[in-house]
Amino acid sequence: MAPKGTLLPTMDGDQGSASKVATTYYFRTRFDYAGPTRPSSLVFSNYIDDGAIFYLNGTEIQRVRMPGTPVTWSTFATGANPDESCGGDAIASCPTVFTLTGEALTPLTFGENVLAVEVHNQSGDSPDVVFGCDVRAILPRDSSVPPTLNIQTVDDWMKFEWSGEEFILQRTSRLAGQETEWSDVAVGIRQSPIFLPREPSTGFFRLREP
């Protein structure tokens, strides 16, 4: 899903090019978890410009490009999106993804949950701020149910998402039965989403277990 582009208030209440963007913005939302069992992980896929701190039901769960020391509204982020192809910006093809597993899932409750995020700019003269967040619960895998792979086109990129726990995305340019040669798409990445440049050539994809 691409960013929605909802405008945020500035320090002077205007949206013009000369408006001053605040150092920190605070977001809060509620969501219900009604899964049949506790998830094995929560996957957060985010658009962040520049840094952020995440809280689940009042417990800090993740820092993205933020110092490890106590912060206030005037604390600057430690950097921007490090991917060179993104130019330091939060764009559809450059999500910041992190996963909560094990004891990190302790704050999650059945029923209503509160997710709060404070988003910090990198400098006092930053011209913009961006934030978007998608949270997905990954349930313990039922080995009798195969995973589902979904492919979505986002601008000049292809977005790959799948159900279940860890899998490795593979690609081939030609199907040849048992002789088909498959190659791993993103070495070391076992959880979705994965973004790949959109290619004009034909390609086939599958998931394999690690």
Last residue of a domain, one of 88, 117, 138: 138
Do 56 and 115 have their domain in common?
A: yes
Residue 41: is its pLDDT beyond 80? yes
85-94, 152-161, 185-194: least confidently modelled range: 85-94
Provide the number of structural domains found in the chain: 2
Do 126 and 32 have their domain in common?
A: yes
List the one residue out of 114, 70, 93 whose CA is nearest residue 198: 93
pLDDT recorded at residue 159: 86
pLDDT recorded at residue 14: 65
Q: Indicate whether 143 belongs to any domain.
A: no
Do 78 and 155 have their domain in common?
A: no
pLDDT for 44-99, tens place per residue?
989 898 999 999 999 999 999 999 999 999 999 998 877 666 776 777 777 888 99
Which range has the top average pLDDT, 7-16, 97-106, 134-143, 188-197? 97-106
Last residue of a domain, one of 111, 138, 165: 138
Is pLDDT larger for residue 57 or for residue 165? 57
Q: Indicate whether 120 belongs to any domain.
A: yes
User: How sure is the predictor about 209, in pLDDT bands with cuts at 50, 70 and 90?
Assistant: confident
Do 49 and 123 have their domain in common?
A: yes
Mean of all residue pLDDT scores within the chain: 85
Do 91 and 184 have their domain in common?
A: no
Do 98 and 176 have their domain in common?
A: no
Q: Indicate whether 133 belongs to any domain.
A: yes
Do 34 and 127 have their domain in common?
A: yes
Q: Indicate whether 6 belongs to any domain.
A: no
Q: What average pLDDT does the segment 9-37 reach? A: 82
Can you give the residue range of the structural domain that contains 64? 24-138
Q: What average pLDDT does the segment 191-201 reach? A: 79
Do 93 and 188 have their domain in common?
A: no
pLDDT for 116-154, tens place per residue?
999 999 998 888 888 999 998 888 766 666 778 888 887
Do 134 and 157 have their domain in common?
A: no
Give me the DSSP letters along the chain: ----------TTS--STTPPPPSEEEEEEEEEE--SS--SEEEEEEEEESEEEEEETTEEEEEES--SS---TTPPPS-----GGGTTS--TT--EEEEEEGGGGTT--SEEEEEEEEEE-SSTT-S--EEEEEEEEEPPP-TTS---EEEEEETTEEEEEESSS--EEEEES---GGG---EESSTT--SS-EEEE--SS--EEEEE--
User: How sure is the predictor about 156, in pLDDT bands with cuts at 50, 70 and 90?
Assistant: confident
Last residue of a domain, one of 138, 170, 190: 138
Do 37 and 59 have their domain in common?
A: yes
Is pLDDT larger for residue 107 or for residue 144? 107
Do 131 and 165 have their domain in common?
A: no
- 122 within 8 A of 72, measured Cβ to Cβ: no
| 50: amino acid identity, one letter | D
* Terminal Cα-to-Cα distance of the chain (whole angstroms): 27
pLDDT recorded at residue 91: 72
pLDDT recorded at residue 110: 94
Do 34 and 66 have their domain in common?
A: yes
User: How sure is the predictor about 16, in pLDDT bands with cuts at 50, 70 and 90?
Assistant: low
